Structure formats: C-alpha cells, structure tokens
C-alpha cells in the first residue's frame, strides 16, 4: 500500500507540468487569432468605444504577462471568465451545466464498446482462423473505417427515418441515448475487439492455461476464470487512452444528434467567435482526458500485481 501511495504521488507530480503546459497553450490560443478577437466577435458595426469597453472588461487590454497571471488565478479559482457574446454568462458555469451530458454520452459509448468487443473478441480469439474469427475481423475493420459522421447519419436514416424506431436527435429520455452511444462506441469497439482477440490468443499459449486444462477445468472455466482475467489487463490501458478519442468523438456525435453537451457548446462557440468559451471547453476536455488517463494508470496497477511489485 505504501509503495502504491508513493507511486500515486509520483504520477501526480509528473502530471503537474503537463497541466501547466495545457493551461498555457489554451491561454495562448486567443493570441493566435489573426486580427482582433474582440472586434471579430462584436462584428463590423461595433464602435471603437464598444470594443475598448469589452476589452477592458475582459482584461484583454492588459500586458500579456498580467493577462497570463490573471488567467491562472481564474483557473485555480474555477473562474474561466465570461462569454464574449453575453458577458453575464460565466464560462465555467455554462460548461459545468453541459458537462454531465457529455460524460453520460462518453460512458454510454464506452459501455457499448465493451458490450460488443469483449464477447466478439473472446469468440474470435478462441476460434482463431475459423469462419467466426474472420467474420469478427471484417466487422472490426468496417467499424474502424467508418467515421462517426458517416455512421451517425446512416443510423438516423435507417433507425429513425426509415424504420421509425428511435428518435432523430435531442436528449429527452433514455431512448435518445442509443444512437449517439452506438455512433461513439463503434470505432472503439472495433479497436477493442482486435485487442481482446490478440490478448486472448496470447494468454491461451501460457503455461497456466495448460495447467488449468490439465487439472480438468472446462474450456469455459479456463477462458472466463483465467484467460480473461489476464487478457483484459492490456485492454484497460487502451480504454484509458481511447477515452480521449471518445471525448473528441463526442464533439462530432453531439453535432450530429444535437446532444446538448460540451462538444456542441465548443462548436457553437467557435461559430459565434466566443473565444473565452472555446478556451474553457478545450481546457475542460483536455483536463478530463488527463485525469481519465491517470485513473486508468492506477486501475492498471491495481489489476496487475506484477506491476505493483516492481
């Protein structure tokens, strides 16, 4: 337990410089805007006085170093500034109100991916080279090659318009979650299916499998009690790494299905040139990703005693 805590501390220390760099990059984003971001947002009809007034209110008239310090001060207090369009909108509050919808969608996508990939991967891996294995490979390949912005509208066409089974878009009940979750999870399911398959094949060659078989366990017990336990460990790492891909995919999925999450907020704010809001969204997604990876890392250590010993 003690080494575990030390490791935890070490990992957290390693994450700090990355968090610092991410915050700095996000802060700098508004300064790569060609021209004047405030004038951009207010449009050509705004007077010089209006532009200066808003700049002053946002602190954008200060020297860069003070702006940077102010930005950090805000981030540490959980204050990400105000919307350019509607200065009474606080960025942090707006993001937090949209955040649960995105997390719900990402977790649902993850659930779909695991639900498809584990049985499919195990079946393929234990029947290596047979027809079912090849069918699984083809499915996985199709899944990897079908981007969300093709799959999503295709499923809307099929299940919502032609068959009229599921709603087209919005977030008004559990049935609204199905199509977006499948859209999000499909690519991850394909990657995981391949992982589970090769992991199972690898573990099946291990000595302990021979031992388990020799002592008379049924093939089912061998696979579910022994092989899966070890075989799923690398899969956990991939899930953590892919969680970021899921979060990024949420942006596209939320646009397709009008899902009121942080992804749609990002794109809507980009279109409205509401730069502080965009900065806030990007920062929030990146930080979520960093912590998702951290959690995975620890889940991995807890699951695999071989790493814990070191």
Partner 1 sequence: MNILGKIGLLIIAGFFIVAIFAPLIAPYDPVTQKQQPGNLPIEERLKPTLSHPFGLDDLGRDVLSRVIYGARISMQVGVMVVMISALIGIAIGSISGYYGGWVDRFFSGFLFNVFMAFPSILLAIAMVAFLGPSIRNLIIALSVIGWVGYARLMRGQVLKVREYDFVTAARAIGAGDLRILARHILPNAIQPLIVQASLGMAGAVLSEASLSFLGLGVQPPTPSWGVMLNDARSFLSVAPHLLIFPGLTVMLTVMAFNFVGDSLREMLDPKLKR
Applying CB under 8 A, which residues contact partner 1? 14, 17-19, 21-22, 25-26, 29-30, 32-34, 128, 141-142, 144-147, 149-150, 153-154, 156-157, 161, 201, 243-248, 251-252, 255-256, 266-267, 270-271, 275, 278, 282, 285-286, 289-290
Q: Minimum distance from CB of 266 to partner 1 (Å)?
A: 7
Considering the complex, state which of residue 82 and residue 191 has its C-beta at the smaller distance from partner 1.
Answer: 191
DSSP secondary structure letters along 192-258: HHHHHHHHHHHHHTSHHHHHHHHTT--HHHIIIIIIHHHHHHHHHHHHHHHHHHHHHHHHHHHHHTT
* Closer residue to partner 1, CB minimum distance, 46 or 201: 201
Cβ–Cβ under 8 Å, residues 90 and 279: no
Residue 170: how many other CB atoms lie within 10 Å = 11
Judged by beta carbon, residue 197 or residue 301, the one nearer partner 1 is: 197
| Shortest CB 151 distance to partner 1, Å | 9
Of residues 74 and 153, the one with the C-beta less far from partner 1: 153
Query: Exposed e or buried b for every residue in 93-112, given b needs 16+ CB within 10 A?
Result: ebbeebbebbebbbebbbeb
Residue with smaller CB distance to partner 1, 21 or 218: 21
Q: How far is the CB of 2 from partner 1 (least distance, A)?
A: 25
- DSSP H stretches of helix in the chain: 2-29, 37-42, 48-58, 64-77, 91-126, 131-145, 148-155, 178-204, 207-214, 219-221, 228-256, 262-271, 275-303, 305-309
| Residue 215 CB, nearest approach to partner 1 (Å) | 27
Minimum distance from residue 290 beta carbon to partner 1 (Å): 5
Cβ-based burial of 5 (10 A; exposed 0-12, middle 13-18, buried ≥19): exposed
At closest approach, how far in Å is the CB of 28 from partner 1? Answer: 9
Beta pairing partners, 90: 82
Q: How far is the CB of 222 from partner 1 (least distance, A)?
A: 19
Between residues 144 and 217, which has the closer beta carbon with respect to partner 1? 144
Distances (CA, A) of 115 to 111, 120, 124, 213: 6, 9, 15, 27
Residue 82, strand partner residues: 90
Nearer to partner 1, 137 or 308 (CB): 137
């Amino acid at each position: 337990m003690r080494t575990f805590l030390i490791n935890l501390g070490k990992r957290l220390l390693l994450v700090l410089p990355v968090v610092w760099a991410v915050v700095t990059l996000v802060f700098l984003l508004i300064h790569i805007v060609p021209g004047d971001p405030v004038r951009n947002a207010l449009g050509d009809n705004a007077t010089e006085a209006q532009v200066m007034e808003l700049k002053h209110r946002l602190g954008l008239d200060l020297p860069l170093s003070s702006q940077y310090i102010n930005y950090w001060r805000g981030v540490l207090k959980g204050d990400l500034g105000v919307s350019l369009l509607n200065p009474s909108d606080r960025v942090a509050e707006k993001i937090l109100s949209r955040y649960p919808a995105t997390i719900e969608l990402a977790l649902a996508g993850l659930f779909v991916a695991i639900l498809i990939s584990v049985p499919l991967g195990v079946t393929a891996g234990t029947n290596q080279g047979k027809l079912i294995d090849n069918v699984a490979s083809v499915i996985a390949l199709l899944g990897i090659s079908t981007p969300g912005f093709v799959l999503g509208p295709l499923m809307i066409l099929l299940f919502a318009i032609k068959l009229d089974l599921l709603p087209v878009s919005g977030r008004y009940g559990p049935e609204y979650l199905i199509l977006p979750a499948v859209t999000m999870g499909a690519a991850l399911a394909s990657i995981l299916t391949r992982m589970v398959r090769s992991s199972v094949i690898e573990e099946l060659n291990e000595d302990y499998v021979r031992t388990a078989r020799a002592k008379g366990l049924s093939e089912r017990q061998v696979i579910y009690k022994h092989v899966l336990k070890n075989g799923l460990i690398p899969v956990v790492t991939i899930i953590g790494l892919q969680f970021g891909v899921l979060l990024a995919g949420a942006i596209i999925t939320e646009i397709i299905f009008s899902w009121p999450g942080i992804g749609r907020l990002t794109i809507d704010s980009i279109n409205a040139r509401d730069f502080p809001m965009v900065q806030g969204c990007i920062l929030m997604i990146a930080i979520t990703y960093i912590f998702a990876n951290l959690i995975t890392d620890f889940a991995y250590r807890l699951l695999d005693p071989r790493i814990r010993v070191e």
